[in-house]
């Protein structure tokens, strides 16, 4: 997908070079060696930007597992606490499952952040209801800690999704790439074949790196492209396993009751 997005830029660069040299018959005098300072600068900027977004990406990889563990513990502790006092835990399980379904929809852009946080606030009410039912304090304290950890992970995911990495850095990076691509259209090479090949290759590489950096900057874009997301989105497998587990538990309970 990223390579496909770079192709229009490559074609545009080649067309500009063709028009300049073959239509306008402009004598190309710029040497490739004269671009060395610009190429060095853009390599430095691209490296710094990619390193920065990868640092956030490594943190983002851990967050789905934190959310999944929190939801799983909320369900397990609630059920065990109610079982301890001899009460049915169906109502607690359904409320945790409702939150899990909402978080899943939030990951894929089907509900807003405000709707997700409204659903998450019900966990505080759940803990309060468990307290009213007489669940031992040991379970309540652990539930509050687990709920806090899950909320912190969701808040961090929201920030990562909504915040770009150093907007000024992106502007400088795009400006340098545009300058290099335009310079490549007027650089003199030993032959036209070499000129077109190097112009296409470097335009593809630099444009691809810009798009890759922007894509990695949002590793929670699972709802983009009509829910198809991107290849660089973090793996939601831990969360999906918890969601499947909670759904299966509800189905199993319904079959037992029937």
Task: Give the pLDDT confidence score for residue 134 in this predicted structure.
Answer: 92
Q: What is the pLDDT of residues 128-141, one digit of tens each?
A: 999 999 999 999 99
Task: Give the pLDDT confidence score for residue 255 in this predicted structure.
Answer: 45
Residue 164, token pair as written in the block: 């770009």
Task: Give the pLDDT confidence score for residue 112 in this predicted structure.
Answer: 93
Q: CA–CA distance from 109 to each of 23, 78, 86 (Å)?
A: 48, 29, 39
Contact 236, 153 (CB under 8 A): no
Task: Give the pLDDT confidence score for residue 228 in this predicted structure.
Answer: 74
Q: What is the pLDDT of residues 3-51, one digit of tens each?
A: 888 889 899 999 998 888 888 777 777 787 778 787 887 888 888 888 8
Contact 170, 218 (CB under 8 A): no
Contact 175, 49 (CB under 8 A): no
Show the CA angle centred on residue 184, arms to residues 178 and 189, nearest 5°.
175
- Where are the chain's structural domains? 39-257
Determine the Cα–Cα distance for residues 53 and 184; give it in Å rounded to an integer.
Answer: 28
Task: Give the pLDDT confidence score for residue 47 in this predicted structure.
Answer: 82
Q: What is the pLDDT of residues 42-90, one digit of tens each?
A: 888 888 888 878 887 888 899 999 999 999 999 999 999 999 999 988 9
């Amino acid at each position: 997908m990223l390579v496909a997005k770079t192709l229009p830029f490559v074609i545009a660069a080649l067309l500009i070079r063709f028009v300049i040299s073959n239509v306008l018959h402009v004598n190309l005098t710029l040497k490739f060696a004269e671009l060395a300072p610009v190429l060095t600068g853009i390599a430095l900027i691209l490296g710094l930007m990619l390193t920065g977004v990868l640092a956030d990406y490594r943190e983002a990889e851990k967050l789905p597992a934190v959310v999944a563990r929190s939801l799983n513990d909320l369900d397990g502790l609630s059920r065990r606490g109610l079982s301890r006092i001899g009460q049915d835990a169906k109502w607690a399980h359904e409320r945790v499952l409702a939150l899990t379904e909402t978080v899943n929809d939030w990951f894929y852009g089907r509900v807003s952040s405000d709707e997700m946080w409204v659903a998450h606030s019900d966990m505080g009410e759940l803990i309060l209801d468990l307290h009213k039912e007489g669940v031992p304090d040991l379970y309540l304290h652990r539930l509050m800690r687990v709920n806090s950890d899950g909320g912190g992970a969701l808040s961090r995911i929201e920030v990562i999704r909504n915040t770009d990495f150093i907007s000024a850095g992106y502007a400088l990076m795009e400006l340098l790439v545009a300058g290099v691509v335009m310079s490549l259209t007027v650089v003199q090479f030993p032959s036209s074949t070499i000129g077109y090949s190097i112009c296409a290759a470097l335009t593809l590489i630099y444009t691809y790196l810009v798009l890759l950096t922007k894509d990695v900057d949002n590793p929670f874009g699972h709802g983009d492209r009509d829910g198809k997301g991107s290849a660089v989105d973090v793996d939601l497998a831990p969360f999906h396993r918890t969601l499947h587990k909670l759904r299966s538990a509800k189905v199993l309970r319904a079959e037992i009751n029937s």
